[in-house]
Amino acid sequence: MDTPLEVFISVMEHRSFSRAAEDLHMTQPAVSQHIRALETRYGVRLLERGNRFIRPTRAGELLYAQAKRIVHEYHQTRRLLEDLTQRVQGPLRIGASLTFGEYVLPRVLAGFRRAYPNVQPEVIIANTRNVAERVLTREIDVGIVEAEVRHPELEVTPVLPDTMRVVLAADHPLAGHEIVPAEALSGQTWIVREQGSGTREMADRLLGEAGIRPSALMAFGSNQIIKESVEAGLGVALLSLRAVEKERRLGTLATVEVKGHAIHRWFSSIVHASQFRTRTLDVFLEHLRSSVNFFN
């Protein structure tokens, strides 16, 4: 592999020669030498250096984007060649949206690791938008998301249905009801996820379609924070039943359905619509499809 390119990528991502050197187990002078070699090779200045900053030039930004692609293709080619041995092994980069990643994926991975102990999963938990972007740039091999994703370069496959309900504190006046009219949820503080989240998308859809008018909206980036806020009486929220299974059992949270607005969605796997796939990825997708049957 082209070592100067990998060094340049690290410097760009750390915005530091010293941190890149530490990450790559090199000396700082060696890192500087590789950057100078690249600048000499291409005849352009790649980085602007100050006492307390490193900033890419336009040429540096261009090279960074291309270098990421080149390094990815190199590692992908090596993995494809290793696949000729038909062994399921090596790294598998998985991205998952929060609900699936926190409440379903751990058990899926436990079974996968038992069957294929030579695979090293690397998991990134992020919202649907972020996961889809990482699949597109090939930073991860597969994503499992909770919102609808449409892109010509992505292959999207539904894998697991999911039911959502409005979540209330156990002592909320509406707790104990199974179904409530939409107007009963107007005038409440609604706690929602951040933009780009599949759960936020469903909450926005419910509020719009049911004509619910919150007194205020609060956006948090974690299902756990939302649950604790609802439990503390800060407001109400829309979450997957999978996310509140334990709290419902313990009686610390209650759930209700909005009359005329039952909410169902799908968790879907997304992969880059490329003709090249490692055997490890294919085996994981097959395991994912078979194992989620236990969560229906």
Q: Which residues make Cβ contacts (< 8 Å) with residue 174, sequence separation at least 6? A: 168, 180, 184, 185, 254, 256
**CA 290/CA 273 separation, integer angstroms:** 21
Residue 294 · residue 165 · CB < 8 Å: no
N-terminal to C-terminal alpha carbon distance within the chain: 45
The pLDDT assigned to 192 comes to 96
Residue appearing with tokens 């041995």 = 85
The pLDDT assigned to 291 comes to 82
- Mean of pLDDT over the chain: 90
**Is the model's pLDDT at 249 over the cut of 70?**
yes
**Is the model's pLDDT at 52 over the cut of 80?**
no
**CA 157/CA 281 separation, integer angstroms:** 14
The pLDDT assigned to 295 comes to 63
**Is the model's pLDDT at 253 over the cut of 80?**
yes
**CA 284/CA 286 separation, integer angstroms:** 5
**Is the model's pLDDT at 1 over the cut of 70?**
no
Q: How confident is the model at residue 292 (pLDDT cuts 50, 70, 90)?
A: confident
3-class SS at 174?
coil
Residue pLDDT, tens place only, 261-290: 999 999 999 999 876 778 889 899 999 988
**CA 120/CA 30 separation, integer angstroms:** 30
Residue pLDDT, tens place only, 154-211: 999 999 999 999 999 999 999 989 999 999 999 999 999 999 898 999 999 999 999 9
The pLDDT assigned to 92 comes to 92
φ, ψ for residue 224, nearest 5 deg: -65, -45
The pLDDT assigned to 279 comes to 83
The pLDDT assigned to 266 comes to 93
Q: Shortest CA distance to 61 belongs to which of 9, 133, 2? A: 9
Most confident of 63-77, 229-243, 271-285: 229-243
Question: Mean of the pLDDT values across residues 61-86?
Answer: 78
The pLDDT assigned to 54 comes to 86
Question: What percent of the chain has pLDDT above 90?
Answer: 60
For 25-49, the DSSP string reads T--HHHHHHHHHHHHHHHTS--EEE
**CA 94/CA 140 separation, integer angstroms:** 6
Residue 131 · residue 207 · CB < 8 Å: no
Tokens standing for residue 281: 């990825």
Domains, the chain, with CATH or none: 3-83 (1.10.10.10), 90-160+266-295 (3.40.190.10), 163-264 (3.40.190.10)
